[in-house]
Structures are given as C-alpha cells and as structure tokens.
Amino acid sequence: MQKVYIYKKFERFWHWTQAALIFFLALTGFEVHGSFSFLGYEQAVESHRVAAWMLLILIAFSIFWHFTTGEWRQYIPTFSKLQAQIRYYTVGIFKGEPHPTRKSVRKKLNPLQALTYLGFKLVMAPLLVITGIVYMFYRTIDANNMVIVSDIPLEIVAFLHTLGAYLIIMFAIVHVYMTTTGHTPTSNIRAMLTGYEDLEDDSEQPLKDENKKEE
C-alpha cells in the first residue's frame, strides 16, 4: 500500500461545492414545492435561483476541467467486471470478501460507479438543469415568438424538475452509503477531503492489469 494523490484540488473543490449546492437546492426547492416551510416562500424562490446560477457556473467549469484534463475518460463504462461488482455490493461485502476491482489514479471508479456517475452526468443533471432553466425563463424565453417553450404547460416542467430532484436525492443517499464501503468506512471520504488515499502502487503497470483481483 502507498499514499497516492488521487483527487486534485479542483476536483475536491468541485465535488464538495456541488454537494453543498445540491443539498441547498433540495432544501429550497422542496420549500418552493410546498413540502415544508423554512425560509419562507419568497426567500426560498430567490435563494433557489441564486444557488442554481452558482451550480450552472460550477458545471461549466467542471465540464472544462473534465475535458482539458482527460478525466472524462474515467466515466467510460466497462462491463467486464460489472457483474462481479454488483455481486460484491449485494453479497461479498457482507462476507468480508475482497473488492473485485482495484482503484488507481488512472482508474478511480469501479465499473458500477462509472456507469452510475455517467447516468448522473448524462441523465439526472441535464434533466434538472434543462427543466430548471425552462422554469426560470418561463414566459420570458419566447419573447421573439420563434421558440414556443411556454407552450409546454408549467405543470409538466415542474413535474419533470421535481422528478429530477427525487432522482438526485436517491442518488445522494446511495452515494453516501457507498462512500463507506472502501478499505475502511471513512477512507473514501478522507480521500475526497485531503486528496490522498492508501492504494496499491501500480504506477508502473500497464492499464490492462488494473482490474486484477486483490490478493
């Protein structure tokens, strides 16, 4: 085992800022939805809009970062060990079996994580962002009478946006549980805070050896 610098500064900033913004957007969004009263409706609407803009800016920077660093490749799903990974989380983990895949700087995500995070990036986040933007500019977006977005009933936009909110909350709950399934219950969380994680040193090994079973 060796201490490896796995999560870069921007990556950690982006991860925790995104987590805080999603938490705050869920809080204010569900107040707008009428689920509870906390800040007051007007304040919740205003705060939700400000946080939404902050998230949009963060997403723009993170897309830039993923493509300029090549980190987007981490999310290309691989299916060879997918079944073994699912079996591990449903059965093996409770019997103390070893992880079926190995984490490294070039392969931070196991096959199930890569697939789930890809779904987050390509389905859940776009659903929330697109419906959120349509919601935000409803009645003002069609000023030139060319684009008739406001023909979509607002109830449909609100329904799809709320559906996205439920999906992302489900994701967050499972995600937090999954973070406790590393070498120790807190090793993954500490790695996302400090950047460093204890991993088997494989920096000299070719990519194809990376998913080898743990000894």
Q: Give the DSSP letter of residue 206.
A: -
Coil, strand, or helix at residue 47?
A: helix
Alpha-helical regions (H) of the chain = 9-33, 41-69, 82-90, 111-119, 125-136, 154-179, 187-194
Q: 10, 13, 26, 210: which one contacts ligand HEM (CB under 6 A)?
A: 26
Stretch of residues binding ligand HEM (CB under 6 A), selected from 72-80, 113-121, 162-170, 183-191: 162-170
3-class state of residue 197 by DSSP:
strand
**Separation between Cα atoms, residue 7 and residue 9, nearest integer Å:** 7
Q: Output the smallest distance, CB 85 to ligand HEM, in A.
A: 27
**Smallest distance from the beta carbon of 44 to ligand HEM, in angstroms?**
8
Closest CA to 45 of 32, 36, 35, 33: 32
The CA R_g of the chain, rounded to the nearest whole Å, is: 20
Among 4, 6, 22, 191, binds ligand HEM (CB under 6 A): 22
133 touches ligand HEM by CB under 6 A: yes
Q: Which of 6, 48, 81, 113 binds ligand HEM (CB under 6 A)?
A: 48
Closer CB to ligand HEM, residue 119 or residue 182?
Answer: 119
Give the tokens for residue 153.
């009933």
Angle between helices 154-179 and 187-194 (to 10 degrees): 110
* d(C-alpha 21, C-alpha 14), whole Å: 10
56 binds ligand HEM (CB under 6 A): yes
Give yes or no for residue 6 binding ligand HEM (CB under 6 A). Answer: no
Question: Which 57-96 positions form the footprint of ligand HEM (CB under 6 A)?
Answer: none
Site residues for ligand HEM, 177-206, by CB under 6 A, read none
Measured from the CB atom, is 124 or 199 closer to ligand HEM?
124
* Binding flag, residue 136, ligand HEM (CB under 6 A): yes
Nearest approach in angstroms of CB 120 to ligand HEM is 11
Neighbouring residues of 109: CB distance < 8 A, sequence distance ≥ 6:
74, 75, 117
Decide if residue 124 touches ligand HEM (CB under 6 A): no
CA-closest candidate to residue 20, choices 63, 43, 42, 51? 51
- Residues lying near ligand HEM in the complex (CB under 6 A) are found at 22, 25-26, 29-30, 32-33, 45, 48-49, 52, 55-56, 128-129, 132-133, 135-136, 158, 161-162, 165, 168-169
